Structure 1
Amino acid sequence: MIIDINNRIGTRPLRSFRSADLLLREMDAAGVDRAVISCFPTQDENAVVLEAIHAHPDRLSGMFLINPHQKQAEASYRRAIEQGFCSLRLEPLAHGFSVDDLALLSPLMQVCAAFETPVWIYGTADVCCAPILFQDLAEAFPSVPVIIGYMGYNYEASSAISIAKRYDNIYLDPTAAMKQNLMRAVNTAGPEKLLLGSGTPVASYFELEIEKIRLIESDPARQQLMLGGNAIRLFRL
């Protein structure tokens, strides 16, 4: 089974609306069985995601995107889980916070721990979300799977890989990673720490990200961990 964990639908700036139906057609063409989806950080459209996952429960799962500065953000996430969302998504660069701000993020992380849901966090080379900043979060909430989205975005890939190796609860979404960085991640952190991410419709596309995994790992069992097995386990799909 092929499961991609980094996809967005809804309204995007200066571009056409990204529909769930279009995403599903692209999934069918690429042989993707299930996608984890969220809305874009510029619009609060979790309702669009909720409608999509309820309409296609066998193909789509939802990440709840919220700005942690929002009042009662943790209560909103609790309701989202009850409605059917399977994970949390945080965008520090878009929403103006740092990954190591435990005072801000702890209420949301406590909900993740209570409901056993993972959290995907945008983690690139930016000062607010560099992989090194994920350490405090990993140590404070060891039971919560924390996914470094975009795996440092190549410039900080080595840091993201080192953090994933060091902490049992840190995982990597290597969306748009260069082949050599993906190989390093598999060889250093292990295939059990990587998930398939394409960042559709902006960063990459399904066929390329799937092919990269197949090129750098020839063992079918290890391939399957990255292509879907790890996602099934973390997101309880």
Structure 2
Amino acid sequence: MAVPPSAPADDETTPTGQGSRSGLTVLSAVALLILAVSLVGGNDTSADSSRPPMPARPGTSASAAPSATGPATSALPRSKPVRLLIPEISVDAPFTDLAIGDKGQLEPPPAGDTNLVGWYAKGASPGEKGTAVIAGHVDTKTSAAVFARLDQLDEGDVFQVERADGRKASFVVDSAETFEKDDFPSERVYGDADRPEVRLITCAGDYDRKAKDYTDNLVVFAHLT
């Protein structure tokens, strides 16, 4: 995805969501708590800002999102991800942990490093049973960022996550979909899964200079293979 024709002039950006374009409070068995998510902090230099709503704890939902059909793959034990490899779009990036900040929003990866992705460290780890959330910036005010070409992924493309336990988890893309932020399907994106799945999230759509935010979020749905 290209950087906007001209970068917004104001450094104050509203908080984002990832992945895209991902504390947490405990999820009630009865209700799904929705929070605003930020991929960008308020005082960084990023033009990439999104606010997809997300449950208080991605990967755990009172009403789990159904998994795509297909043979089940044995889940891996929990292990911290260390590197994301997406050959199709030339991504080779280290991970940083993402947590929920004081305002109840997912803290973004540092915008100063354009080749960095973050994962929600209190959710499922990539390869573990459940829904792992990986977020990255699409751009900054000065250049494209790690997920600038995320929209080029297609069904069947494969990417890998290198883990701290030395294993390499391979994922196949099920779909890549763009959602308006005002109509973001949080339960579908963040709901629990009965197999190891990943969501890659970043910003998409047009850049609204008045709101200092992109209009949409791009979500890549994938499962362990």
TM-score bracket, shorter-length normalisation: under 0.3
- Using CA pairs below 8 Å that are at least 6 residues apart, which structure has the higher relative contact order? 2
Question: Taking structure 1 as the reference length, what is the TM-score of the superposition?
Answer: 0.26
- Using the size of structure 2 for normalisation, the TM-score is 0.27
Where is the strand percentage greater, Structure 1 or Structure 2?
Answer: 2
Which has a greater percent of helix?
A: 1
